[in-house]
């Protein structure tokens, strides 16, 4: 199996365990479940911030441990302070070292939209996302059929959540649907973890004009941001570039200053 197959196989098992640990009824009683979600779509369209969705990420399957010293609150607070349009929090534990608690801590610390970054394959995870304070959820085309994307996106929308649909290959364009207002193009192939920015730029030309385009992964310079902006991108999901530093918040501040 490739890396993505291994992750999804493990995710099916962990979701089964989560369902036995906390019922949907318990999740729906969460204080966060009753809150009105913040809109990443509106924030990106408004242009009030820098378009960066800054990520809190402890480790990855390709790089191993990236940063296990920095605390969630300090990092995400700095992201917000220096103009992030949104926050992304990894909640996958086995492969990325994240947790639902990380997202809850972030929710208490910031007042901008939060993306739950995980491998969503089940309706339960959508309800859980709402219950832990997420505003946006990620659906990855590489591990879902077009029908599954439409079904999960419709459920997420009914919960008041926005959807970021992640694509990597042109063959996945048929996953786009009315509910998926934000389309992310992952520069990193989740099956091989190779990065190819040029391929993403060409693919972006085929995204419908009424969608918000997000560039994901492999972004490590202000020049990358300018190139993507020239090609119609409004958002930029960046994590490792900041988290690999001893002080991710400071690294983010320096990066933002180079954009000015």
Place of tokens 């640990």: 21
247: tokens are 């002080």
Catalytic entry in 11, 37, 55, 70: 55
DSSP 8-state secondary structure symbol assigned to residue 160: T
Catalytic entry in 11, 57, 130, 234: 57
Q: Let me know if 80 is a catalytic residue.
A: no
Catalytic entry in 217, 234, 240, 241: 217
Positive or negative CA dihedral for 57, 257, 84, 224? negative
Q: Let me know if 217 is a catalytic residue.
A: yes
User: Which 3 state secondary structure label does DSSP give 89?
Assistant: strand
Residues 6+ apart with CB under 8 A from 199: 187
Q: Let me know if 63 is a catalytic residue.
A: no
Catalytic entry in 117, 130, 213, 234: 117
Q: Let me know if 57 is a catalytic residue.
A: yes
Catalytic entry in 166, 172, 179, 240: 166
Q: Let me know if 117 is a catalytic residue.
A: yes
Q: Let me know if 78 is a catalytic residue.
A: no
Catalytic entry in 186, 187, 189, 241: 186
Backbone φ, ψ for residue 55 (5° rounding): -110, 140
Q: How far is the C-alpha of 180 from the C-alpha of 11, rounded, in Å?
A: 23
From the number of C-beta atoms within 10 Å of its C-beta (0-12, 13-18, 19+), residue 158 rates as exposed
Instruction: Write out the catalytic residue numbers.
Output: 55, 57, 117, 166, 186, 216-217
């Amino acid at each position: 199996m490739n890396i993505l197959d291994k992750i999804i196989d493990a995710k099916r098992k962990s979701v089964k365990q989560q369902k036995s640990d906390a019922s949907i009824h318990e999740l729906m009683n969460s204080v966060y479940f009753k809150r009105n979600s913040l809109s990443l779509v509106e924030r990106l369209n408004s242009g009030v911030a820098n378009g960066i969705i800054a990520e809190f990420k402890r480790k990855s399957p390709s790089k191993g441990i990236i940063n296990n010293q920095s605390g969630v609150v300090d990092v995400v607070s700095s992201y917000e302070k220096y103009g992030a349009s949104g926050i992304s929090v990894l909640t996958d534990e086995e492969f990325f070292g994240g947790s639902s608690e990380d997202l809850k801590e972030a929710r208490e610390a910031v007042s901008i939209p939060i993306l739950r970054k995980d491998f969503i394959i089940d309706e339960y995870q959508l309800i859980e996302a709402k219950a832990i304070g997420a505003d946006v959820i990620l659906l990855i085309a590489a591990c879902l059929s077009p029908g599954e994307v439409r079904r999960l996106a419709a459920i997420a929308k009914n919960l008041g959540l926005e959807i970021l649909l992640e694509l990597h290959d042109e063959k996945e364009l048929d996953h786009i649907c009315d509910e998926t207002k934000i389309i992310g193009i992952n520069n990193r192939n989740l099956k091989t973890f190779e990065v190819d920015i040029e391929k993403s730029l060409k693919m972006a030309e085929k995204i419908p004009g009424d969608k918000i385009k997000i560039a994901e992964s492999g972004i490590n310079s202000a020049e990358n941001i300018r190139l993507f902006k020239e090609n119609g991108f409004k958002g930029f999901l960046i994590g490792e570039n900041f988290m690999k530093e001893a002080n991710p918040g400071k690294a983010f501040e320096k990066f933002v200053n180079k954009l000015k």
